[in-house]
């Protein structure tokens, strides 16, 4: 076995032992180093998958069903509010009619209504009818208020009554020449005597 320089250089183990670090059997200088192909990037997962589409569809269906239910609920609430208002007005009307019915059991009220509406008078009384300038009877403007409606809150204050009298006192007096002349003689109607029937 020859131990020459050529033999030394041919032994790869020896050459590797004496070689400098980094000067081993790698690519030579000036030759670009081939890199290992990097791992191929995974394809990007689509953001909108079939699962997301199904979930979105279910969500849209739920929102639509709840929206229709909410609309029906609001319609029912409006209908109930209208019914409650109608019931309240009906109850007020029933209370008014019950008070009217109770009034008709009072003989004084019946006499007053008969006198106002029909002009009836009691035996021995003389009825008068107030006529306007055209000779038509004037309708009475007074109405009866429920007894419970007059409270301390609805009564006028003392100073309001006093001021009203001041205002009335300041109005001009009617000229007697313009006032209609009163009747000088009133003929009483004949009232039949209960015993004679005439």
Query: How deeply is 115 buried, as exposed, middle or buried, from its count of CB atoms within 10 A (0-12, 13-18, 19+)?
Result: middle
* Cβ–Cβ < 8 Å for 17, 25: no
In a domain, residue 29? The reply is no
Convert the pLDDT of each residue in 163-196 to its tens digit. Answer: 888 888 877 776 767 777 777 777 777 767 666 5
Q: What is the band of 18 on the pLDDT scale with cuts at 50, 70, 90? A: low
- Structural domain span for residue 69: 51-121
In a domain, residue 21? The reply is no
Convert the pLDDT of each residue in 76-96 to its tens digit. Answer: 999 999 999 999 999 999 999
In a domain, residue 155? The reply is no
In a domain, residue 60? The reply is yes
Q: Which residues, other chains included, contact 131 with Cβ-Cβ below 8 Å and sequence gap of 6+?
A: 137, 138
Handedness of CA 175, 179, 185, 190 (dihedral sign): negative
In a domain, residue 178? The reply is no
In a domain, residue 84? The reply is yes
Instruction: Give the total number of structural domains in the chain.
Output: 1
In a domain, residue 59? The reply is yes
pLDDT over 80 (residue 146) = no
Greatest mean pLDDT range, 20-29, 59-68, 123-132: 59-68
How are the residues of the chain apportioned to helix, strand and coil, as percentages rounded to the nearest 5?
45, 0, 50
In a domain, residue 92? The reply is yes
3-state SS of 91-160 is HHHHHHHHHHHHHCCCHHHHHHHHHHHHCCCCCCCCCCCCECCCCCECCCCCCCCCHHHCCCCCCCCHHH
Q: What is the pTM of this model?
A: 0.34
């Amino acid at each position: 076995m020859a131990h020459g320089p050529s033999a030394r250089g041919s032994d790869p183990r020896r050459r590797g032992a004496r070689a400098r670090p980094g000067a081993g059997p790698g690519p030579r200088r000036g030759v670009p180093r081939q890199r290992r192909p990097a791992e191929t990037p995974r394809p990007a997962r689509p953001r909108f998958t079939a699962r997301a589409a199904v979930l979105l569809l279910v969500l849209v269906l739920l929102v639509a069903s709840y929206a229709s239910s909410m609309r029906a609920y609001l319609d029912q609430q409006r209908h109930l509010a209208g019914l409650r208002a109608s019931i309240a007005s009906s109850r007020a009307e029933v209370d008014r009619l019950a008070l009217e019915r109770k009034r008709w059991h009072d003989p004084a009220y019946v006499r007053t209504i008969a006198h106002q509406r029909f002009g009836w008078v009691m035996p021995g009384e003389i009825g008068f009818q107030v006529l306007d300038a055209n000779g038509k009877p004037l309708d009475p403007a007074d109405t009866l208020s429920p007894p419970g409606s007059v409270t301390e809150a609805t009564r006028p204050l003392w100073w309001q009554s006093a001021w009203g009298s001041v205002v009335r006192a300041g109005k001009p007096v009617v000229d007697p020449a313009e006032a209609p002349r009163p009747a000088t003689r009133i003929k009483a109607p004949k009232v039949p005597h209960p015993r004679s029937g005439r």
